[in-house]
Structure 1
Amino acid sequence: MNTAELIYQKAKALPEVEAREILDFMEFLETKRRGEIETAYLLQEPENARRLLAAAENIRAGRCIEERELLPDD
């Protein structure tokens, strides 16, 4: 029996509330993995990597990253 089948068998035996918690965790892992893939893709461009590192340094130093104009109230 492979890992996915073991997870399925154990999940079937859980009360609904606990099974939902396991599903939420699995969805969290999926979202985390997707975010890591997107970040790796963006960092392929040297300019993106430079800007990200500069922004992180500004945050660590307590500086504002960039000034943004406020949108007018409609």
Structure 2
Amino acid sequence: MSLFYVNKNAQDNGDHEVHSASCSYLPKKENCHPLGYHTACSTALTAAKKVYPKSNGCYYCSYSSYTAPE
């Protein structure tokens, strides 16, 4: 299980990125909304979408939940 966060600040395309606590691209703590512990980034993404409907996995730490911007 890993601890996940979603970035409170949206990317240029409007997505809020989901990161694991160990990600080197994790935003500053004040910009992170905690999602709790999850066994997979897919369940963390589901939790993030309850807070920010337009959420996406981080390319680097949550690649299996990452969707390339159009």
Q: TM-score range, shorter-chain basis?
A: under 0.3
Bigger strand share: 2
Q: Of the two, which has the highest radius of gyration? A: 1
Q: Which has the higher contact order (CA 8 A, sep 6+)?
A: 2
